[in-house]
Every structure is written in structure tokens, then in C-alpha cells.
Structure 1
Amino acid sequence: MTTTQCPNCQSASVTTKDFARKLGALIGTLGGATQGAQGALAGAEAGAVMGLAGGPVAVAASTMTGAILGGLIGAATGCITGAKLGEIIDDQVLDNYSCLNCGLSFSCRHYA
């Protein structure tokens, strides 16, 4: 494993900012939860029309359960996707590294 060093002061006290990864995860979570809940509600509506034999309580319970599970699954999927996309942006576009000694922000792609 290689230790990242500051190109200015050669210090090994370097941290990553991961700004795009964090933002991507947040946006992905919100978008995924919304899409997942909408999809689950649409599916539950279709199921409710076809399965009225279970009664109103069963229809309401399945609708809410589907929306919650769809939202959770969508949020998890969106979070992972957003974080991966943000990680690529951090590595390829932004100066993701910060030296704790001299305060320099830099990217390894320039100093590899």
C-alpha cells in the first residue's frame, strides 16, 4: 500500500476530503428513496385493484409496506451509486487530498 505524500512539504500527514463522494451519496439516497417509494406505490395500486378480496386493511397494509420497502431499497441503491460516482469525480476532477501540515490541496493525478 502506498502512502500519499504532500508534493509541497513531503509530509505523510495527508487526508482526503471526499466532498463529491459525500454529496453524491446524499443526492443518490434522496433520489433513490423517492424513486423507490414511487415505484412501490404504483405497484401497490395495481395490486390493490387486483386483490380487493383481502379487504381494505390488507390493501392499506400492503400499500404502506411496499412503499417503505421500495423507499429503503431505492435509498440504498441510490446511495451506493451516488457514492461511486462521487468517488470518480473526487479522483479525476477535484483536488481531493489535503496536507495536514502545510494545508495544500492537491490531486494525486498531477503528482503520480
Structure 2
Amino acid sequence: MCIQCPQCGSTRITTRDLGKKVGGATGVIAGGVTGWTSAVTGARVGMTVGLMGGPAVIALGCVAGALVGGLVGAATGGVAGAKIGSVLDQRVLDNLECVVCEHVFSAPE
């Protein structure tokens, strides 16, 4: 099915994907903070367990754990946020824009 602009009839239509972009960015931030916090908590436990390895091993484990946790959390949050934003784009927001007249509208059902 070819989508046409309801205002000018053009078939030159593009998607805006605002929900996907905002959801993805928000998810990256929230997931990164959550992952970092969880990793820091895990690093504290690791410090206690790794006391036998010496100060260098403890410090390296803490930093690596926090970085990996933050990155994994950010990636997971970003994907989840983008998926939620994509659903909002399709069902709630006016996601289509006419390239010719710049009219913004929703997909016909």
C-alpha cells in the first residue's frame, strides 16, 4: 500500500521516529545509571571476596565491573526504550511527514 499525504496527495513520505529517538536516548541514560549502580554494588562484594588478590586486583575488578555494568545497562536500556518509542510512534504520535508540503500525519488504518 502506498501512503499519500492527505493534504497534497504526494507519495514522498518520510517517517519522523521521534518516539523511537527519545525513548532510545532515555533508555540509554536510565539503563546506564542502573547498570553502573548495580555494578558498583557488585564491585563492593567483589572487593570483599578478592581481598586475597591484593590492592591492584581489587581496584581493577571494581573499575572493570562498573564499566561493564554501565555499558551493558545502557545498551539494554537503549534497546528497550527504542522499542517502546517505536510503538508510540505507530499508535500515538503523528509519525509521517510529507517531504513536499511538510504536513505531519498518522498512518491510515
Query: Is the TM-score greater than 0.5?
Result: yes
What CA deviation, in whole Å up to 9, does each residue of 1:48-103 have, x standing for no partner? 11220000110000000000000110010000000000001111111010101122
Tell me the TM-score normalised to structure 2 length. Answer: 0.94
Per-residue CA deviation, residues 19-68 of structure 1 (Å, 9 max, x unaligned), is 11101100100110111111111011011112200001100000000000
Identity of aligned residues (%): 42
Q: 1:75 is matched with which residue?
A: 74
For structure 1, list consecutive stretches of 5 or more residues without a partner in the other structure. none
- 1:64 aligned residue: 63
The AA in structure 2 aligned to 1:71 is G
| Aligned-partner Cα distance in 2 for 1:64–1:4 | 51
Which residue of structure 2 lines up, in the alignment, with residue 4 of structure 1?
Answer: 3
Q: Which runs of 5+ in 2 are unaligned?
A: none
Return the alpha-carbon distance in structure 2 between the equivalents of residues 69 and 3 of structure 1: 45
C-alpha RMSD of matched pairs (Å):
1.0
Q: Distance in 2 between matches of 1:20 and 1:53?
A: 49
Q: After the TM superposition, which segments of 4 or more aligned residues of structure 1 sit over 4 Å from their partners?
A: none
Mapped partners of 1:72, 1:4: distance in 2: 39
SS at match of 1:94: coil
Number of residue pairs the alignment of both structures matches = 109
- Secondary structure, in 3 states, of the residue corresponding to 1:98? strand
